[in-house]
Structure formats: structure tokens, C-alpha cells
Amino acid sequence: MAIQYIGINRGQQSGDVTTGAATTGKQIELSVDLAANATRKEVLDSLDKLRDFIVNTRATPFAQ
């Protein structure tokens, strides 16, 4: 299974994003299963849904 990892630390800018085939070791990290053959649009749509979940969830760890 091929995984693409994308990570960033809090407070960093988009130019500081790290990508790789292994965990980036960043505070916030996303992994995308490349074997699933998701299109760029499908990945972006999924990110929108994850963002909506975080914005609208008032439970730990997103209580603040």
C-alpha cells in the first residue's frame, strides 16, 4: 500500500509543508492512500469534510 504523508507544525506557513513516503513527524499530519486511486478533487472534497467536522465538533480534542 503506497501512502503519501503531508505534514505541518502549528504556526508554520504553507511553504513549510513537508511531504514524503514516510511519516513527516509533524504535529499535524495527513495520510493519503495512493493505491485507492483518488483524484485530486476527491482528496480536496474529503479535506473539506474533515475541516467541516473539526469546525463543527465541540468535543475533545476540538473543544476549544
Q: Is residue 61 domain-resident?
A: no
Residue 24 inside a domain? The answer is yes
| Cβ contact 40:48 at 8 Å | no
Residue 31 sits in which domain range? 3-56
Q: What is the pLDDT of residue 64?
A: 66
Q: Is residue 64 part of a domain?
A: no
> What is the rounded average pLDDT of the residues 47-56?
92
Into how many domains does the chain fold? 1
What pTM value is reported for the model? 0.77
User: Does residue 37 have a pLDDT over 80?
Assistant: yes
Report yes or no on 23 lying in a domain.
yes
Q: Is residue 25 part of a domain?
A: yes
Across 42-61, average pLDDT: 89
